[in-house]
Structure 1
Amino acid sequence: MKGYYKLLYLLWGLFIAVAFFINVSEHQENIEEIALSKGRTLFNQILVTRQWNSKNGGVYIPISDSIQPNPYLDVPEKNIVSSDNIHYTLINPAYMTRLISEIANRQNEEKFHITSLKPLNPNNKADIWEEIALKSFENGELEAFIKADSGVESIYRYMAPLKVENSCMRCHSKQGYRIGDIRGGISISFNTKQFDLIAFKHVREEIIFYLIFGLLGFILLLVIDRLMVKNIRELNSKQKQLEQEIEERKLTEYKLYETVEELEASSLQLFKQNAFLDKVINSFSYPFFVINADDYKIELMNIEAQKIFDNSSHKLCYNIINKLDKPCSKGNVECPIEKLRNGADVVSFEKTIKVNNEIKYFEVKSFPVLDDNNKLKTIIEFYFDITKRKEQEIKIKEHIEELNTKSNALQEANLMLRKSEIQLKELNQTKDKFFSIIAHDLKNPFNAIMNSSYLLLKHGKGYDEEKLFKFIKLINTSSNQAYNLLENLLHWSRKQTGRLVKSPEILEISKLIEEEISNLNNLLENKQISLKTLYSENNTAYCDANMIKTVIRNLLTNAIKYSHRNSEIVISILDTNDNVTVSIKDNGIGMTDEVIQNLFKIESEESLPGTENERGTGLGLILCKEFVEENRGELTIVSEPEKGSTFSFTIPTSKFLIE
């Protein structure tokens, strides 16, 4: 810190010195400008006097000892005699200028010298500086000015040209001049003492001012130094307390945000969401259950589950699944609910079930759904048909027994079995992660929907219109969140199972973008985010409309989620002949390279929360990458922490580019 203030003292001293020299230099330039102005003024006075003399044909003055006839003036009636016998001589402008100059020289003030490159009077011959100035006038210069040393004193010299006028031709026509020619000039010299005195006074005043100003600056820096040391000590002692208060405030704001999130929705959207949820669940090709962990009641089961298990009036899991009259934990059957209740992340086991008089093998996976108190609330259970795998395992075992005497064939069979097991484990790990995402991220929107609808059913009649609107808004937002998540899951499920049909056609991409912007207007308005679009004139491409709309929706939703309130998102379309490039740029929190590398891995951790703690699964970006590549495009990301992200993808403009 001491070194820092030493640098400040040095910089302040340097600033004072530079400011002083600049000020003095500018003042010196001003003084020389004043001297130049004085020279111009004196020249103009002499010029006006000469013009008056010339226009009046000269002036007759009595001849005296001090005024004799001009020997170089060759004109008629140069000398005349008046009626009272007084002798007069004609004073032309040049002679008058020389007479005025002699008077000024005697008074030791300004000195004038009329001169020419072709003087009639030798006394008017130009000195070296005047000769240089006269030649410069012939080259177009308008004036000459210097500060010189006469050997006795310092003087300013000014000179301007004299041009031939019509009245001048009377005396100078014999020299070959024409009207408008430069026939000479007037040189003016005056002492610099009065200007040097002004400069000296100014320098003295500036020295005093800058000494006082610099001293005050040093005193101020010293005071600030002492105060800063004291303040830094106080700030260091309070820093930890302030950081703790900030953390507590962030926690409070996060809890308030979650509360607000849980109060937004729409009751009409709830029924639509339930129908969509049934559609998604029934699209699964394997049995699916949602079971209440408190009373063992089956809250939801899909069509595949109904085909295998008795869908009677009994709705308890141990009644339907295991044909028991009491919970499995009280009998000899292992209960997955109890394992999940005791802290297990997932429970997996195999089960044999007789379906249409045929033995089927299933792999059962149970996932927990916890409430806000981290207590088991419901479980999600999937039944994967592994009959073919079991039959394959049996056949492999039989085949191994048959080839037990052939070691080479046995090693090959073992290698095939190991490879099959590794692939199966990788598939199971992917499914585990996928369904763990479902179990975790469906909780929040469904909790908000169920809690809000419960409060509306129980107390809705007593609520005022504003409170009812808040509940409806909460239900609407939560329904949209769940809808988007389930729609992504449905697309992903169809993609993984090969049931997703692609129907590419020539489309105008800007129309797809505008449609998705319209659907997401409520999210933009909630965070007061402005949207800017930059479309190239030609933005048609050959692609599947539903896939590209899904890509646009997910990327724009991500941009909103990670953008700060009152910020801007820019969507642009660039036509590069072979491809159309769509870019969605935000000014949000951005990402590191490490985060970008893990974005498209299904096994990676949960995605980062948004700027207002919005949650996500990361599945949307995985879906975007697969859909863009399915349409022969490429998805790229450019991002920097705290500066925002730009997601861009390309689409071919023509069917022939794909083929």
Structure 2
Amino acid sequence: MRKIHFITLLFIWILLISISFLWNYSNVKVNNEKVVLNKSQSFFNQILISRSWNASHGGVYVPIDEKTQPNEYLKDSAKNITTLNGMQLTKVNPSFMTRQIAEHNDRRNNVHFHITSLNCIRPKNKPTEKEIQALKRFEAGENEVLNFVEFPEPSYMYMAPLHAEQSCLQCHGFQGYKAGDVRGGISVSFPAKVYIEAMRSQIISLSVVHFILLFLGILGIVLFYKINNKYFAIIGDKNLELQQTISGRDKLFAIIAHDLRSPFSAILGYLDILHQDYKELSEEEISDCINEADKAAHDSFDLLNNLLIWAKSQQDGIVIDIKKVNLCQIIKEALLPHLNNANIKDITVKIEVSEEIFICVDEFTFQSIISNIITNALKFTPRGGTISISAIEENELVKITISDTGVGIPSNKIKKIFNEDVLVTTKGTDGEAGSGLGLMLCKELSEKNKGKISIESTLGKGTNVILKFPNCNTNL
């Protein structure tokens, strides 16, 4: 590859990641504004409904107490009445009721309502500077205004107009209003901190994901550039190695582009739901979101771990140190990280391996083989199933069988599982992601340990994965 092509490829990749980030960043801001707007509209509409109910009754009477004194601005001969049993009542009109609800909301929900007008009767209803600007925009034809206010604390202020209705003219007719006129408006203000933090958290997550994609893409391009330049000049007997490298490169990009992006998208999606709708979600829905995000995170980790081991194996970066190891003990160590997942799916794991059997393998890669096979068995075994691990000595070999009571594998797929040119991707019984890389990695690592792997399966009954490795008991 020429240097100009390398630089162009880097530029295109960076440009694509930048466009993706900016587009998603814009969506985060737009979605946050929609959430705030929906909340504001809900509060405002509730006030309108309450006012409409009040107006439909021509006002309502409530007992006079310290918090509810007669409205000095209400011109009504029947403003104050006394019941037959001597209880003193005062009439609460829509405006008075709005102020009462506003005070109650301010105390309980930290949400502030303010009814105001450019032509106020009550001095305390005088509009602020931003409310004046909004009221003028209403008179010009706008239907609502949403502002972000920095002082005295970051908050959102939503405002929508109040139009004069026939029932309103009883109190405001003397001001010259006619039905349909913009008589004023109600502003709804509430702290913006929780929304700003939620948006910031989403942007941070978005940045991390795009940085990882950018880094992996650049790393892939750089590796490709170096490998390509190194092998480009080699012809003849090195041509096969070059083709394998190109095939590995394509496979790596395919995994990164699809299987790595999908879990991160799922994580972001569930985090977005939690950030935006946390207060509206039930405990069960919150738990489901967390469980699904956790499952996606573990899938991502498993895939990255396999990618790292696979990348090392492709570059001969794995050092194989074959030595005598106790089979039962090494299997138990490999199983340990998977016991929690087995418990979650109520799957029984049985180890039927004699403590007296020793095999000759590299400990790290053998544990990777067992771990990948157990991961697959857990994915494709329904809840309440069983996974069994057994071993027998066959002269110079030890035959290890890992059996599950899972869904089984079609015979046509078994032939493709160990094919490096085809990645067989299948969802687990609980929707777990699978890249198809695990079993292919098991085949490569088995061969590096002078072992073999094969699969026997029956649809609906389960799968047997059979491993054969050198028996150390015969080589003492």
Q: TM-score, normalised by structure 2?
A: 0.50
Instruction: With a CA cutoff of 8 Å and minimum separation of 6, indicate the structure with the bigger relative contact order.
Output: 2
TM-score by structure 1 length? 0.37
